Structure 1
């Protein structure tokens, strides 16, 4: 877990304001960045950095967040002994909508006794994204992936994404997924970056 900043995209938010736990600030060339507490799972180690997949709650909506792509590249990640139930809601017609996640939940052994170490019911690991966290960044270890979940974490990590799992459009959108670059999806991506720290929360090098 660490303080994380990244560009806010085309979203127009006044600098100096906060929204849903994120703080927005002005950057060079009139850009805007947002900063928030971000949780990660280490899936590999580079030279002086860790390669990670992020954990999101999507504002408590889990993968039912509107227009969320790559839903099936997510999995429940939890610090409870048993995985929490998937989130559900009802659409405008009263139809029940479920997450229906296909990947196995990932259990984390909690190493923090307070709420900072509790992933809650709506945390989801997003295997479709990777971030590089430098080892000089100040972080807080909240736990380690349970040994029984390591096989699933390794199988589903971005490095091992299968060719038959192309990028997915958001729910309700056209099933047309961009094929740009899909030919390279079956190639090995960083397969040599295995590390004994895999499956841990980011920590200072």
Structure 2
């Protein structure tokens, strides 16, 4: 049998060896961990730089695409459904600067009803036009025969496969369930 002293010495060396090994392993694990952290940080920086570059390229592509989608100068049909869809009026679109165009025109009927538009307009996307100016309508059977005036910023939108742009502020000055469909169509040149 092993004496208690020999047993104690063996246990002491086993514990000492284990402690030294664990300490050594801990040091190795700590160095590996720190190395992995540094590599991870480097990868994060590279990925962030790559993502920033991709975002910048996408932003440039979007900006270039929108700037290429300009309006075309020329004559374009315009309608207000209360006057007629079959006998449109016309607007003249003339280039200004920074993608803006001057737009002015009318639609009339024999009853004295009319649609007048005057301001500036530009394309925001394939389906969206931004307008700043004044739109005036007068329909004898609506709003007690008084003019309806919409001023300021407005949006025209071409929903789905529509080939025209509809004013999104459709509520008539009469209110209630009365809506005005003011539409601008491609004309002698495309919008």
Is the TM value for this pair above 0.5? no
TM-score in terms of structure 2 length: 0.22
Structure with the larger helix share? 2
Q: Mark the structure with the bigger radius of gyration.
A: 2
Structure number with greater CO (CA < 8 Å, separation at least 6) is: 1
